[in-house]
Structure 1
């Protein structure tokens, strides 16, 4: 009897050693399964896993310990409820997993494959795998886990298995859809409205607002991974943490960074354009431009490294978000400075910036210190983007009013300019008429001057002719007088009374005033008021001195003047010297009187 008992104990020892505890479901919506068994995969088929009782699943073993690329997980779950329920199973290592469960209705094993590297199945969430657990029964689940990424690491990880009620997951999924539809609808409506405004005004400020809105629509779509419903995303680089969490840089990450770049670019350029910082706030404008340039360069470099070289998102996320926070801070400071400077529409712009920038600030802090999980159901990005669209639309309305006000002012200014132009045209026409009159006067005066010049030329010719005649006549008379005197000398005894009479006549003709008056008449026609001005300046001049000065004025030679005056040339020179000395004394006397 004792031998039989010992034999039974020996037979039951392996069963006790390899018996797997059963996980009991509870009423909670989500729970973590800590009871499972692990088997390294040796290219086993699922039929072999189910039918071969010799395969040893080790309770609570780690993945990566045996350096295998795939592992099988066996989970026993007791559903204490009366009815079968639908649940979702998820693993932290979600590269490419296949869940197998037994369907009582079809009496067949059902496979459900999901994961980052799994074939595209048109689902937003690539981690959760659906299964049906029978009520009042123990359900056995098998999961084939792709652990190929662990081969490049020197550590093993324990899988974290979570089970969630389908109703709970579906409600969260529905909430995600509703929030996305609501946010996207609001954004698209504002986008269309502001697009219409842009084509009407062609205002760059509205264009930058549209760019920020486009970035917001892409951001909430990428944040909730809705793009994965339409196409699968390649994994560019990835890594596995020591806790077994898979971190990857895929198309979602690229879209996230790209959408944030659009938002930041739109906000910075919107601020610069709205407040005219380039002209009014050059220091803040430089800070905005440099901050945006640094953020763009850092983002592009980090995205390129994560795509083509290695995964760095976990190490750079904190600093990248800090850089975004600094840029948001610069935008806020610019708004405050613009408000303090009382710039046009700066008050509504500051108010419009406060709420969305606070939400953006909170979103960045949330991702840095709490979670960067795209499927955590946070509505912070939705609030941030929607508040941005609403607030900046209000600011754009204020700007539009300001633009209309400026347009009215410019319209009034344009009308004033039009009136001024008309007045200027009238003045110009008046000036043209005056110029025409002046030109006519000039032509008349020119004609008159030409006539005067012709008359002056005639008078000058007559003066020259008269002067020449007088010189020749006096020379002839002087010659006749000389001849008569010589005859008197040759025949002193035979003087004829007629010759003396002729000599007397010749002497009197040499000093006839008629010739002088004729000369003076022609001289004054050429030189008006000459004698009046000369006597006014030199009242002490004698008649002969005036006559002599007139001859000097027309540049007659000493010989010609001597012939006119019937004196010797030496006498002319002496008379000239006396005349100029007399005139010099008068001028010197006038200077002394002026000084006194």
Structure 2
């Protein structure tokens, strides 16, 4: 009878206990505890919390007063449905600094473990505390939640406890680590290669591309939460307001810096790649001012929040994301305008930025409406990898366009050089021709001088010959006159002398000699004269030659050994023949 009573009492105790146990669903990855009790800490020792069942734990309720509250205690029981050991993560909200106390059945003693934003541990997601259920037996847990960081908050909070299966979380963490490693490796390869290209070409577009890659690596690291893992103080300040708990940590500060690096790099990359300062000065100023506004907003908001002056991150986040969206749309629109203006590399810029910018816009819009969630885990990795690849391809395309332009300019330069060479050759040819002409002119002048000298010589010789003939005939005429006045007995001899003198006065030899010298000085004179006046006699031709030499009538009369009056008459007859 006694054994039956004990069995019934044990069964009743089991049913009563089981009613307060949180049974973890086998097919559910996360189970929020429905049965737990809370207690405001009043400086209780840990041993008293763990062993004193008379402490006034109560059902959970909304907590609104944080002025005199440093800690709250949570007591609950949970049991796994699996008969085999299974690992879980115990998560309690708020997850600033939580300590889990559990009983180690193997070592027969209570143990503790901490987690949360203010705890430096290896957990990427703060607040997850690992625990392994050995069997189906219910386990008792105590949680100490720190609330001192929420002093000054004007909102309320409800404590929550969840049991998360470790396998999916660990698998997810492994995937995140693998994706992060792969992403960082890809970006690092692009970074190192394009660093070499930058130092090779000194092109600013490559420098801004490197800034984008550096910002992308930092953003992926902060987005994955790895900064918090290695930093001892995981947050600077916290704020409790609808719809939840907001913390501001070094991870967020570095994320803000990464956003500045990426957006500034994109803006400067766009300006350099599309030459907006020259082609689109108006839009160049607009995008620069938007970028300055974004940098100023992030800098001021980060300073105010991190210093604790005012928690502005929650509110500035909307404006920041909106500015990012506006800047991305402006960048894309500038690419479209550049393409419309006929810039060759603009189409590569548009193609390269289309898909990555769509993904970035999706992420940005997601954070605008879901500020408390981490968002899609792998989209940022995909976005930065695509951005790295497509921008690199765009740079290669830009280099090819520049090469084509340089090649065209080189061809144009070669053509201009050829034209210049032809002009120079022509100039040299003209110079040579001028030199040849000058030489010919010098030679002609020399020949002219020589001919002039010969002409002068012949002229002098002609004059000399004419004077000689003139003097000879004058002497012969005088001699004839003297002989005519002589009286001699030998009249026959005198007659012969007079006949000889008369013959000498009309010898053709003197005329022939005169004609030779005259033709040297006046070539073609006689031919032209006879061609125009073929009916002239030999004496008239001789008379024309004498008149051409500007000899006087008296001088001609002497040369011809006739009276001057006869010369005048002969000239008159000759002029009539010549119609002068």
Q: Same fold (TM over 0.5)?
A: yes
Map of 2:173 onto structure 1:
173
8 Å CA contact 1:238–1:247 kept in 2: the answer is yes
State the partner residue of 2:396.
397
Tell me if structure 2 keeps the 8 A contact 1:101–1:132. no
TM-score, length basis structure 2: 0.67
> Which residue is 2:214 aligned to?
214
Q: What is the deviation of 1:266?
A: 1.0
Query: How much does 1:108 deviate?
Result: 2.3
Tell me how far apart the structure 1 counterparts of residues 382 and 404 of structure 2 sit (CA, whole Å): 33
1:241 is aligned to 241
Deviations 1:258-308 (A, max 9, x none): 111111111111111111111112222222222212222222222222222
Deviations 1:47-102 (A, max 9, x none): 12112222121122444658421111011112232123211011231111101111
1:259 aligns with 2:258: yes
1:140-183 Cα offsets, whole Å, 9 max, x none, are 01111101134323554211222101111101111211221122
SS of structure 2 residue aligned to 1:347: helix
* Match in the other structure for 2:139: 139
The alignment yields a C-alpha RMSD, in angstroms, of 3.0
CA contact (8 A) 2:228 2:250 kept: no
Map of 1:98 onto structure 2? 99
Q: Distance in 1 between matches of 2:156 and 2:344?
A: 63
Cα distance per residue 1:517-544 (max 9 Å; x no partner)? xxxxxxxxxxxxxxxxxxxxxxxxxxxx
Give 1:424 deviation, angstroms: 7.5
CA distance in 1, matches of 2:427, 2:264: 52
Name the CA distance, whole Å, in 2 between partners of 1:250 and 1:145.
19
Relative to 1, partners in 2 of residues 1:134 and 1:62: Cα closer, same or farther, differing over 3 Å?
A: farther
Match of 1:490 in 2: none
Deviation at 1:371, TM superposition (A): 4.5
Q: 1:230 to 1:414 in 2, by over 3 A?
A: farther
Q: CA deviation at 1:313?
A: 1.6
Question: Cα offset for 1:339?
Answer: 1.6
Task: Tell me, in whole angstroms, the C-alpha distance in 1 between the residues paired with 2:369 and 2:275.
Answer: 36
- Asked if the contact 2:227/2:250 (under 8 Å) is kept, the reply is no
Aligned to 1:85: 86
> Aligned residue for 2:281?
282
Determine if contact 1:39/1:73 at 8 Å carries over to the other structure. yes
* Aligned match of 2:439: none
Q: How far off its partner does 1:36 sit?
A: 0.9
Report the Cα distance in structure 2 between the residues aligned to 1:203 and 1:398, rounded to whole angstroms.
14
Shift of 1:373: 2.9
Matching residue of 1:307: 306
Tell me if structure 2 keeps the 8 A contact 1:37–1:61: no
Distance in 2 of aligned mates of 1:297 and 1:348: 31
Structure 2 stretches lacking a partner, 5+ long: 1-14, 437-580
Distance 1:431 1:115, change over 3 A: farther
Matched position secondary structure for 1:137: coil
- SS of the aligned residue for 1:54 comes to coil
Structure 1, gaps ≥5 residues long: 1-15, 438-596
**Counterpart of 2:224?**
224
**Is contact 1:88-1:163 (8 Å) kept?**
yes
C-alpha spacing 1:73/1:403, structure 2 compared with 1 (3 Å): same
Q: State the match for 2:29 in structure 1.
A: 29
Which residue of 1 is the match for residue 191 of structure 2?
191
Q: Note closer, same or farther for the CA distance 1:18–1:86 as it changes in structure 2 (3 Å cut).
A: closer
SS at match of 1:311: coil
Q: Which residue is equivalent to 1:474?
A: none
Residues 228 and 234 of structure 2 are in contact (CA less than 8 Å); yes or no, is this contact kept in structure 1?
no
Aligned partner of 1:113 in structure 2 is 114
Shift in Å, 1:434: 11
Aligned residues between the structures? 422
8 A contact 2:85–2:133 mirrored in 1: yes
Does residue 298 (structure 1) correspond to residue 297 (structure 2)? The answer is: yes
SS of 1:53's equivalent in the other structure is: coil
Give runs of aligned pairs for residues 262-411 of structure 1, distance below 5 A: 262-308=261-307, 309-374=309-374, 378-411=377-410
Report the CA distance shift for 1:423/1:76 in structure 2 as closer, same or farther (over 3 A).
Answer: same
Residues in 1 aligned to 2:325 and 2:424: alpha-carbon distance in whole angstroms:
59
- 1:199-242 CA distance string (max 9 Å, x none): 22211111111111111111111111112333224533321135
Q: Shift of the alpha carbon at 1:433?
A: 9.9
Kindly indicate whether the alpha-carbon contact (under 8 Å) linking 1:101 and 1:111 is maintained by their aligned counterparts in 2: yes
Question: Any idea what SS the aligned residue of 2:83 has?
Answer: coil
Q: Deviations over 1:556-582 (max 9, x none)?
A: xxxxxxxxxxxxxxxxxxxxxxxxxxx
Structure 1 range deviating more: 280-289 or 421-430: 421-430
Tell whether the 8 Å contact from 1:90 to 1:128 is kept in structure 2 after alignment: yes
Question: Whole-Å Cα distance in 2 between the matches of residues 272 and 131 of structure 1?
Answer: 54
Are 1:47 and 2:52 matched, yes or no?
no
Secondary structure at the aligned position of 1:378 is classed as: coil
Q: CA deviation at 1:386?
A: 1.4
Q: Distance in 1 between matches of 2:330 and 2:184?
A: 28
Q: Distance in 1 between matches of 2:73 and 2:63?
A: 10
- Partner of 1:560 in structure 2? none
Distance 2:133 2:55 in 1: 24
Shift of 1:372: 4.3
Give me the whole-angstrom Cα distance separating, in 2, the residues matched to 1:434 and 1:123: 93
**8 Å contact kept, 2:155–2:240:** no
TM-score, scaled relative to structure 1: 0.65
Q: What whole-Å deviation, never above 9, does each CA across 1:361-393 have from its counterpart, x for those lacking one? A: 11110111135433x552221122112112112
* Partners of 1:78 and 1:137 within 8 A in 2: yes
Deviates more, 1:67-76 or 1:230-239: 230-239
| Residues 155 and 326 of structure 1: CA distance in aligned 2, closer, same or farther (over 3 Å) | closer
The answer on whether the counterparts of 1:116 and 1:235 sit within 8 Å (CA) in structure 2 is yes
Distance 2:242 2:329 in 1: 36
Change (3 A) 1:156 1:373: closer
Contact 1:248 1:311 in 2 (8 A): no
Q: CA deviation at 1:321?
A: 0.8
